[in-house]
Amino acid sequence: MNEEIIITVNNLKTYFYTNQRCNKAVDGVSFKLKRGKTLCMVGESGCGKSVTATSIMRLLPTLARIEEGEIIYHSEEGDIRIDQLAKNGKKMRSLRGSEIAMIFQDPMTALNPVYTVGFQIIESLRYHTKMTKRARRKKAIELLRGMGIPLPEQRVDEFLHQYSGGMRQRAMIAMGMSCNPKVLIADEPTTALDVTIQAQIFDLMNQLKETYKTAIMMITHDMGVVAELADDVVVMYMGNIVESGTVEEVFKTPAHPYTKALLKSIPVLGCGKNQELEPIRGNTPDPYNRPEGCQFNPRCDYCDEKCFEMPNDFKVTGTHHAKCWHYRKVLENE
């Protein structure tokens, strides 16, 4: 096994059971997470990005479960099958927070309003380190300072509502990074922030990646974020990975009609007002009433009879894969 790989996800299937129905939110997803690299997972809302992340953390709600596939964490002591651990068991808990940490979209709801920020950072240290009470507090202050929060000695005892929006997200990252995790999963960490603060947060994450060789898995629907941060990109649509590869490959030579359409539908900064934007036609299908075969076929320009069969994962180059029967046509049709 490659030394650089920290998490392998193989053919993961996570289904939701609500209202007497079964929703195949994630239906056969495979990818690899590398040390010191950022993997961006893009797709529109409801495509299964967050579900994949919560499956890795084993934080799925009770009405959901992992049906098939494997999630392997390559720790220093050997491989751990995360999908086979007890959901809130001892082993899983010892991984969470210390080896794999997660930060969430909206710090206002993701942090507890009735405890101080310091309390919530220290809580994590308490169960994963052997520090004394005083050392923990000192470490919490250090972390906040590291995240560029002014007056950390004072801020550590303040409540969430006393923080500004950008500071809240930084406090959350401080909490995530408190035990120097090997993997950081970020679920749209900047969606709730404005653009200037977004840039600060990204700088921070790039620093972390370089200093600690943390593997970052970033979930986003913002192509701009991908361009800025990603080493590798995974594009998801309706519970499947439709295309994956390095950021250059996916952006310059998209091999899946969906990726192509997605890139055409967003404006590029600096290209002026007269860009031709093409929205993707049609709507995302109802997850209970999925199209047969390739999930994108009702909205696709390349669609023919063959597309009513689920396409295989085609290798475009060594690292670039696409799930489309017509990927050659898509590539050539530049």
Partner 1 sequence: MLEYITRRTLVLIPMLLIITFLIYAGLELTPGDAVSFMVSPDVLANISPERLEALRESLGLNDPFVIRYFKWLGGVLRGDFGYSLTSGVPISKIVIDRLPATIELSVAALLISTVLGSILGTLSALKKGSMLDHMLTVAGMIGVSIPQFFFGLVAILIFALKLGWLPSGGRMMPGYDSFLDRLPHLVLPAFVLGLTMTAGVMRYARASMLDALNKEFIKTARSKGIPEWRVNFIHGFRVALTPVIVLVGFRLPMLIGGSVIIEQIFQWPGIGKEFVAAVRGQNLPLVMMIALFFVLAVLIASFLVDFFTALLDPRVKLD
Partner 2 sequence: MDSIKQQEESGIVKNKLQNRVLNKFFNNKLALIGLVVFTFIVLATIFAPLICRYHPGKIDVINALQPPSAKHILGTDKIGRDVFARIVYGGRISILVGLGSALGAALIGVMIGCYAGYKGGWLDKIFMRISEIFMSFPQIILVLLLVSIVGQSLWNLLLIFIVTGWGSVYRLVRSQMLSIREEEYVQALRAFGLNDFIICYKHMLPNALGPIMVNITLSTAMFILQETSLSFLGLGVPLNIPTWGNILNVAQDLSILKENWWIWLPVGILISTFVLSVNFIGDGLRDSTDPTQQG
In the complex, the residues that contact partner 1 under the rule CB under 8 A are: 54, 57, 59, 62, 88, 92-98, 101-102, 104, 106, 109-115, 120, 123-124, 126-128, 159, 161-162, 172, 175
- In terms of CB distance, is 62 or 132 closer to partner 2? 62
**Site membership for partner 2, residue 20 (CB under 8 A):** yes
**Site membership for partner 2, residue 19 (CB under 8 A):** yes
What's the token pair of residue 270?
Answer: 């600096």
> 3-state DSSP call for residue 2?
coil
Q: Shortest gap between Cβ of 315 and partner 1 (angstroms)? A: 35
- Look-up: residue for tokens 């085609």? 314
Q: Shortest gap between Cβ of 111 and partner 1 (angstroms)? A: 6
- In terms of CB distance, is 114 or 195 closer to partner 1? 114
Cα 20 to Cα 113: distance, rounded to the nearest angstrom: 34
Most distant CA atoms of the chain, gap in Å = 67
- In terms of CB distance, is 120 or 240 closer to partner 1? 120
**Site membership for partner 2, residue 65 (CB under 8 A):** yes
Cα 137 to Cα 112: distance, rounded to the nearest angstrom: 18
Contact 93, 39 (CB under 8 A): no
Cα 322 to Cα 310: distance, rounded to the nearest angstrom: 12
DSSP class of 116 = B
- In terms of CB distance, is 170 or 260 closer to partner 1? 170
Q: Shortest gap between Cβ of 17 and partner 2 (angstroms)? A: 5
Q: Shortest gap between Cβ of 14 and partner 1 (angstroms)? A: 16
The continuous run of DSSP H or E covering 170 comes out as: helix 165-177
Site residues, partner 2 (CB under 8 A): 15, 17-22, 63, 65, 67
